[in-house]
Amino acid sequence: MTFVPDNYEKVEDRIADFYRDHPQGRITTDVLHLDGDAVTFRAQVYREIDPEPHPAATGHAHGLLLKPKAVEFIETVSIGRALANLNYAKTARMSAEEAEAFEDAKSQAQHPVGRATGPLAIHRANEPASAKQIDLGKRLLAQVDDGINIVTEHLGAYRPPEAWTKYEASGDRGASNGLIDKLIAAKEAQMGGKRPVRAKAPAEDDPWHMQEPPAEVPF
């Protein structure tokens, strides 16, 4: 079992405090993204039972489906974050559940186990994106009009390519479910269905690009 210090309060305690102060309030959650490997939740907190134009606070949580009841667990983390944003955090903003999720992820990164029995290679989900993935992600974000929204929807909150993991960048091998694939697809749609071509810059010492090409290529 993951060790969590006593100074982290449980989300259920924050929920009890909230409803004690706002008996007519409500807490809603919805899934922003769910696949076979990860889920992203958004929690919204309202002080009154009547619909309001905007929630009093919102919280997000993204987590990998590494253990039983992981979906419910990540939903609870999102509620804890939303309540923390409404100042229902007595000791620390991080709840006991969020601290547990953090320790689980850190432990997994320190002790990768290779490919999981399911579709997710766990070590790729914890390794930072490669330099090649980061570079391509940056270039695509600069070219795709809706790139930031695509990243935000996929991750639940915007993070630049430098903060992506290998799995977030490229997804399952051969499945085209990573951010780079989504951005390339958006780039294709933006170009009218044409596949983007990755141009290769000529070497600085290559004399070919320094002169006019011949009218006919001799063979």
Secondary element (H or E) of residue 61: strand 57-64
> Amino acid letter at 119?
P
Residue 196 lies in a domain: no
Tell me the C-alpha distance between 84 and 78, whole Å. Answer: 10
Residues 112 and 18 in one domain: yes
So what's the pLDDT on residue 152? 85
Q: Are residues 104 and 131 in the same domain?
A: no
> Is 200 contained in some domain?
no
End-to-end alpha carbon distance in the chain? 72
**Judgement on whether residues 75 and 150 belong to the same structural domain of the protein:** no
Question: Do residues 159 and 70 share a domain?
Answer: no
Q: Is residue 212 part of a domain?
A: no
Residue 217 has pLDDT above 60, yes or no: no
CA distance 59 to 41: 8
**pLDDT given for residue 29 in this prediction:** 96
Same domain, 72 and 138: no
Regarding whether 49 and 92 lie in a shared domain, the answer is yes
Q: Are residues 31 and 99 in the same domain?
A: yes
Residue 56 and residue 73 in one domain: yes
Q: Are residues 29 and 103 in the same domain?
A: yes
Task: With cut-offs at 50, 70 and 90, classify the pLDDT of residue 141.
Answer: very high
42 residue type, one letter = R
Residue where a domain stops, chosen among 100, 118, 136: 118
At residue 188, the 3 state secondary structure works out as: helix
Q: What is the mean pLDDT of residues 127-147?
A: 90
Q: Is residue 64 part of a domain?
A: yes
Q: Which amino acid is at 116?
A: A
Residue 57 has pLDDT above 70, yes or no: yes
Is 202 among the domain residues?
no
Higher pLDDT, 117 or 215: 215
Confidence band of 197 (pLDDT split at 50, 70, 90): low
- Domain match, 23 and 83 both: yes
What pLDDT is attached to residue 107? Answer: 59
Calculate the average pLDDT of the chain.
77
Q: Which residue range is the domain that position 101 belongs to?
A: 11-118
Q: Let me know if residue 203 belongs to a domain.
A: no
Lowest mean pLDDT among 66-80, 99-113, 133-147: 99-113
Instruction: Judge whether residue 92 has pLDDT over 90.
Output: no
Q: What is the pLDDT of residue 201?
A: 46
Distance of alpha carbon 217 from alpha carbon 219, whole angstroms: 6
Tell which residue, 100, 106, 52, 51, has the closest CA to residue 74.
Answer: 100
Look at residues 103, 92, 105, 84 and name the one whose alpha carbon lies nearest to residue 6.
92
**Average pLDDT of the segment spanning 98-114:** 61
Q: Is residue 75 part of a domain?
A: yes
pLDDT for position 114: 37
- Residue 156's pLDDT is 76
207 inside domain: no
pLDDT of 191 reads: 83
**Whether residues 79 and 17 fall in one domain:** yes
Q: Which of 38, 31, 32, 29 is nearest to 58 (CA)?
A: 29
Expressed in percent and rounded to 5, the helix, strand and coil fractions of the chain are 40, 15, 45
Residue that the structure tokens 């990164």 belong to? 109
* In the chain, alpha helices (H): 11-21, 70-85, 96-110, 122-126, 131-143, 147-155, 166-170, 179-190
